[in-house]
Amino acid sequence: MKVLVANLGSTSFKYRLFDMADERQLARGGVERIGSAESPCFVEIQGRRQELKAPVPDHAVAVRQCLAQLTDPQQGCLQSEKEVAAIGFKAVHGGRVSGVQRVTPDVLAAMEEMNLIAPAHNPPYIRAMRLLGEKLPEIPLVAAFETGFHNTIADRLRHYPVPHEWADRLHIKRWGFHGASHSYIAQRTSQLLGRYDLRIISCHLGGSNSLCAIRGQQSVATTMGMSPQTGLPHNNRVGDFDPFAIPLIMQSEGKSLHEVLDTLAEKSGLLGLSGISGDVRDLEEAAAQGNGRARLALDVFVAEIRRHLGGMLIELGGADAIVFTGGIGENGANIRAGVCADLQGLGIELDSNLNATKGSAERCLSTPASKTQIWVIPTNEELIVARQTKHVLENRFEG
């Protein structure tokens, strides 16, 4: 069985193709600037990269273009597009619909109900899924919602202290996101350490950020809440924020509610604090040159990670492993050092020399004396979605 895993933007389509017989990645590729006169399209198969530019008016044509490259007699890895058993989507928020689902009109309607909560994510996925369903009906579509991994979190950690009917009627709860990433870290860490009852704190740090407390490969707590804008500071999204500040901002700045929310979702986080960039690499360079706001942004980021890390250590009763993943988690030695600083009393001790080593390989960074192992593990969200898609298809065939 071969599964195409899609990552969509409003004008982009990126994918990875897996052979689920042995979970090998056969190819990766994508199309940028969909809808423009020339849309760059690339495919990479066994290290060979092929590129072309052609008008691609919509996501359905983008998929057709990618399938054409994958089935090219000279360069492709498929004999026919019929070998693609399904397209799996790393969907974000379905509210009343979670887990892994075949894409149906009801699933799309549930996603539309959450458009206000995930404005940057849901609308492009809905448009593309609907279009693909109409123009490529022969290929099953599967939505693997990021919220699904967190369905195991207890109600005491999912409910906000607001009128209870809001949770029932409007689905206002702490849903959590980055589910595929945290799920991969749970599975891979268990494999590496040879135990499946581990207490793990997964630190997904990149363009958007979240921590997840994991026990026995199940989510126990996470930092993101009702929307992907919450929790830790993100590159340009606010993270946790007091909603009672919003009327003051509206009145003092003369902004509408939409304008304030747009600022919180697009111009806040590390970018807003620093006024320079939401990229940690830029901020570290600026801070080294004496820029105080860049230093503040980095300090706030680390402080928030540590605050939530402490709560998760209490919830789990300690941790067997702390795992860093994502672009910052894998490459940000200074961030890792800041997060783990002065935690020896909690049995958490980072080896500074190991932490300074560069590379994308899986590696343990803790000292021999550390009771909690500290790891860098590159995530593989697409593989998790491919596994979930395969499971849905097999259950359908068995039924």
CATH of the domain at 250: 3.30.420.40
pLDDT at 314: 98
Binding site for Mg(2+): what residues are annotated?
Answer: 7, 381
Tell whether 208 and 137 lie within a shared domain.
no
Q: What is the pLDDT along the chain (399 residues), one digit of tens a residue?
A: 999 999 887 688 899 999 999 999 999 999 998 888 888 898 999 888 988 888 899 888 888 888 888 998 988 999 998 999 999 999 999 999 999 999 999 999 999 999 999 988 899 899 889 988 998 899 999 999 999 999 999 999 999 999 999 999 999 999 999 999 999 999 999 999 999 999 999 999 999 999 999 999 999 999 999 999 999 999 999 999 999 999 999 999 999 999 999 999 999 999 999 999 999 999 999 999 999 999 999 999 999 999 999 999 999 999 999 999 999 999 999 999 999 999 999 999 999 999 999 887 999 999 999 999 999 999 999 999 999 999 999 986 443
Query: Residue 222: phi, psi to the nearest 5?
Result: -150, 160
Q: Is 169 inside a domain boundary?
A: no
Query: What's the CA gap between 221 and 379, in Å, rounded?
Result: 19
Tell whether 314 and 199 lie within a shared domain.
yes
Query: What's the CA gap between 88 and 104, in Å, rounded?
Result: 13
Instruction: Please tell me the pTM assigned to this model.
Output: 0.93
Six-digit token string for 208: 């958007």
Tell whether 227 and 360 lie within a shared domain.
yes
Q: Is 240 inside a domain boundary?
A: yes
Residues in the chain: 399
Tell whether 201 and 324 lie within a shared domain.
yes
Six-digit token string for 248: 């003051």
DSSP 229-256: T-SS--SSS--S--TTHHHHHHHHHT--
Q: Is 300 inside a domain boundary?
A: yes
* Of 380, 357, 354, 379, the residue nearest 368 (C-alpha): 354
Binding site: what residues are annotated?
Answer: 7, 14, 279-281, 327-331, 381
Distances (CA, A) of 137 to 60, 81, 124: 11, 13, 19
Asked if residue 233 lies in contact with residue 227, where contact means CB atoms within 8 angstroms, the answer is no
Domain extent at residue 131: 2-145
Tell whether 27 and 135 lie within a shared domain.
yes
Q: Is 392 inside a domain boundary?
A: no
Tell whether 256 and 116 lie within a shared domain.
no
For the sheet with 199-205, list strands across it.
218-222, 209-215, 199-205, 321-325, 373-376, 363-364
Binding site for ATP: what residues are annotated?
Answer: 14, 279-281, 327-331
Q: What angle do CA 183, 198, 147 make, to 5 degrees?
A: 25
Tell whether 228 and 373 lie within a shared domain.
yes
Q: How many domains does the chain have?
A: 2
pLDDT at 396: 64
Tell whether 51 and 110 lie within a shared domain.
yes
Tell whether 370 and 239 lie within a shared domain.
yes
Tell whether 233 and 123 lie within a shared domain.
no
Q: Is 389 inside a domain boundary?
A: no
